[in-house]
Amino acid sequence: MSAIVEMDLTSPYEALVRDPFLCPDDSIKDDIRRFIVEQEANLFKLDCSFSQMSACDDDFKHIMKHKDNAHMFVEYHKAILSVKRQLPFEIWRRIFNLCLPHEWGVDFAATHAQEELGPWAIAAVCSHWRDIALNMTELWSTFKIGPARYDLARFDRRPIALSIERARGAPLSLRLDSGMSHFPHRAPGLIPWERVQNLTIVRSPIHAPRIKFDLQYILGQCTELRTVDICRHNKESDTQLMQFHFYDHIVQEMSMRPELLTFMLFKPIGATTVPRALRMTIRQLDSVLTSDDIRGLLWNRCRKLERLQVHSIATPHPDTQMHLKDLQSFLEQCSTFLSNLQQLDIHLPGVSFQGEILEFQQFRLPKLKTLRLFCGRLPAIVQRSELSRQLQSLSCRLLPELTRVVLCFGDIKTKTPQEMEPIPNDKESQVEVLQLKNGLEVILIFNGARDTTNS
């Protein structure tokens, strides 16, 4: 052993060796190459000395292990200059985005600790991914809170505050389980409610008098709220009951093609807690207003609505009259909150048109000027001339302030959620404009509705 000199396996580039995704600066690459040449020369000397040893030598196993370590030492330094480390940061960002789960965000409602890791786990893959994750505010601004593993005594846990800190002032998307007793009063200051724009409330399967989940307080604190989803939880997935979309805008009409369609522009009115436009995606029309939370939401936040979109995602009932009855019952209950409503959009994909749906005289909608109805294709047995005569006879029974009605017929399947707009310029679309009594304009668009969910 005395004739063999062991290699010095210390390196000035140890940090680069330890992080396989860290790219060296161009200024030190030549130094790394010279260092590798020197180490390869030392390794060659070590191999020559080792070849002269006998397996019976006392230090044979020790020198063999040292030689293997020396070979790995050289290879690790060669890897520093690998082309893999030259990938641009944008490529790492793209790979990172492709590896993200479908529903990202921090899950403080996880059943198991492994599920709660969320962004922390994916940010720990390498230094590049950590940098990307820490600068990706949307990754930290979406999180869930629930009672599955953590009681209220632990709601001030550091990870929640850290997630909000890493969101860097970005709008928050929050999912809450209504099974959290006395929330949020027992966790004051935990959530900056004024930053919450998207809120999902999961109806907990837990029903007990001790559960005091104050949804009305939360809605009152969320001054910048844009969407509210009301869901019912089951073992497989969350079943959406209702979705609200708030728009803090005043609705203005700009007629780009008066003979065909009225397009809508939204003019911002600044920071306000009173929405002027609301879109409601509803699964059950007949029971949606049975909840005190939802009635309170409409009463406290929506009394100055000027535009309302009602989108039904329920499976069309074979009995059209039954579906119509549910809709009219819903609108009658809503009329308590809609005294300022100027435009009403009703989306009923797959439902056959019935003229009675236009008869709103029994509802208290004194300022309604525009009514837009989206429904299924007009049955072939219904002649357009017959439809025109039906609308003429209905004109005297419509609301006195109504000036425009848009009826759009299109074959679009029901799904969650969905938005439709008329497209009268489509090749298959046909448009008719009727001038009825009292100056009422009716625009009929046949085969002209499309799904604009992803547009």
Q: Identify whether residues 40 and 141 lie together within a single domain.
A: no
Instruction: Show which of 86, 103, 138 is a domain's final residue.
Output: 86
Mean pLDDT computed over 168-195? 82
CA distance 294 to 228: 10
Chain segment 126-160, per-residue pLDDT in tens: 777 778 888 888 788 888 887 655 555 555 567 77
Which of 74, 42, 79, 49 has the alpha carbon at shortest distance from 64?
49
Burial zone of 332 (CB within 10 Å; 0-12 exposed, 13-18 middle, 19+ buried): middle
pLDDT digits 0-9 by tens, 393-402: 766 666 667 7
Domain count across the chain:
3
CA distance 191 to 164: 8
Does the pTM of the predicted model rise above 0.95?
no
Same domain, 212 and 247: no
Q: Is residue 439 part of a domain?
A: yes
Range of the domain at 137: 88-172+183-198+205-223
The span from the first CA to the last CA of the chain, in angstroms, equals: 75
- The β-bridge partners of 196 are 172
The per-residue pLDDT for range 42-87, each reduced to its tens digit, is 888 888 887 777 777 777 788 888 888 888 888 888 888 876 666 6
d(CA 423, CA 433): 15
Percent of the chain predicted with pLDDT > 70: 58
**Is the domain of 250 the same as that of 315?**
yes
Whether 269 and 370 share a structural domain:
yes
Q: How far apart are CA 65 and CA 61, in angstroms?
A: 6
* Spatial distance between the Cα atoms of 136 and 129, rounded to a whole number of angstroms: 10
Position 9 in a domain = no
Q: Are residues 33 and 48 in the same domain?
A: yes
89/131 Cα distance (integer angstroms): 10
| pLDDT for 76 | 86
**Before 188, cis peptide (omega within 30)?**
no
The answer to the question of residue 8 being in a domain is: no
